[in-house]
Amino acid sequence: METIKTEIKENKMGTAPVGGLIAGMAVPAMFSMMVQALYNIVDSFFVAKISQEALTAVSLAFPIQSLLVAFGVGTGVGINSLVSRRLGEGRRKEANSAATHGLLLGLVNWALFALFGLFFARQFIEGFSTDPTVIADGTRFVQIVSIFSFGVFVEINVEKTLQATGNMIYPMVFQLIGALTSLILDPIFIFGWFGVPAMGVPGAAIANVLAQCIAMCVSLTVLMKKKHEIEVNFRGFRLDFKIVRDIYAVGIPTIIMQSIASVMVMGMNLILVRFTDTAVALFGIYFKLQSFVFMPVFGLMQGMMPILGYNYGAKKQPRMVQAIRIGLVVSALIMAAGVLLFWVMPARLLLIFEASPEMVQIGVPALQIISLCFVPAAVGITFSTVFQALGKGIYSLAISLLRQMIVLLPAAHLLAHISLNSVWYAFPIAEIFSLAASLLLFRHVYRGCIRTMPESPSAAPVRLAADARDQ
């Protein structure tokens, strides 16, 4: 028992300098996220070489992929938040149990999507297109990525479990293995290299799920064979609904929050298809490109979340405040670089995907206008991570609902009556509203949860600027 206490006390998340700690934990995640973003771009690059119909089919299937990832990441974030808080509180046995429950919940998520792929894939694609080629390719793509999704669900939960302990290297390795394997297999299965039959769009889906399964196998091997602060053991396992409830107290809002993004994409596709199929394909390309900007920020947040959760559990207020400050500054700088990229070379970015003259014409203003929301989005993403780390995922959900459902889609629908270019202004409009709401909710959380934490033995509580103004 004494050994366990010492291990918990000396966990680097509670003792190491915050700046260096975030760098050490976030850089591996940011790097792997960049590789994942590169994969997203290269994947669409290969598909675009087949035909614009193929690119449209994959763009229409994208919301289902996003929904699948939403369930995986949402459950994983819930596991991460609970495990890191329990470790910070010194409750290691409960942390182990939360991690074990996490693997089981991954299989439950897989079963849900397998059923969808078996029975509803074609109906989904037919809701957005009447083109027989698009319907056929889109249906097969959705079926494959849904029915064989167990790899991604299990791997994500292992990844988030290890991140909760402060281990960011293994999760980076898992993501790299998945992304690089996909990059290698994509052209082989799409175009039929090395004697493999050319499978087109379904080949891209097969490459995707095979890579996920390989990453899953590696992650399970590392989890079970290597020594970690967390131990997963199904021997004598009994389902504890309190743990499931605690995981999904953060997980369900996160799932809904990320699922809202899928609903938003489907809604935008319905608005854009009124203009032209090219606009739908363009929107799919935009999401691939913006991932190159957002993924590093999400990687930064992956490094921050266990630090915030651990120090919240350990009642170390100054370290939490310092981590939040660093997250705000670094994420804003990354997003500012993204705005510059989208304004300086939008046409070159689109030409990566074999863009037609029509797509370039409508795509250049689209990328420039939408990118105006990047910097305020950095603030929202950082505060959302804070809410999740503190177990208040419902606040993140509220912000996401406001941004994408209450403001963005209605604004896009109204602006569509003016012109296609006007539709893109819905994004910065929505971000202004969500930024205001994020600031108000964070102020509430800061006053209620962070400022009131017991004073650290080693340092007086740190105050944010908003708090200082109240004095």
Instruction: Check residue 9 and give its pLDDT.
Output: 47
CB half-sphere exposure, 324, CA atoms < 13 A: 29
pLDDT in tens, 14-66: 667 777 888 887 887 787 777 777 777 777 778 878 887 888 888 888 888 88
Q: Does residue 3 belong to any structural domain of this protein? A: no
Q: Does residue 462 belong to any structural domain of this protein? A: no
Q: Does residue 89 belong to any structural domain of this protein? A: yes
Instruction: Check residue 462 and give its pLDDT.
Output: 46
Q: Are residues 255 and 106 in contact, defined by beta-carbon separation less than 8 angstroms?
A: no
Q: Does residue 466 belong to any structural domain of this protein? A: no
Q: Are residues 32 and 26 in contact, defined by beta-carbon separation less than 8 angstroms?
A: no
Q: Which long-range contacts (CB under 8 A, 24 or more apart) does 50-55 make?
A: 50/190, 50/200, 50/201, 51/133, 52/277, 52/278, 52/281, 52/356, 53/131, 53/133, 53/134, 53/137, 54/133, 54/137, 54/200, 54/201, 55/281, 55/284, 55/285, 55/353
Q: Find the distance separating the first CA and the last CA of the chain, reported in whole Å.
A: 44
Q: How many CB atoms lie within 10 A of CB 331?
A: 26
Q: Does residue 10 belong to any structural domain of this protein? A: no
Q: What is the DSSP letter of 391?
A: T
Q: How far apart are CA 398 and CA 298, in angstroms?
A: 19
For the chain, the domain total comes to: 1
Q: How far apart are CA 252 and CA 234, in angstroms?
A: 24
Q: Does residue 130 belong to any structural domain of this protein? A: yes
Residues of the chain predicted below pLDDT 50: 1-10, 456-463, 465-471
pLDDT in tens, 160-217: 888 888 777 888 888 888 888 888 998 999 998 888 888 888 998 999 899 999 999 9
Q: Are residues 313 and 84 in contact, defined by beta-carbon separation less than 8 angstroms?
A: yes
Instruction: Check residue 453 and give its pLDDT.
Output: 66
Q: Does residue 96 belong to any structural domain of this protein? A: yes
Instruction: Check residue 427 and give its pLDDT.
Output: 94
Cα three-residue angle 350-355-356, rounded to 5 degrees: 140
Domain range enclosing 440:
16-455
Q: Does residue 213 belong to any structural domain of this protein? A: yes
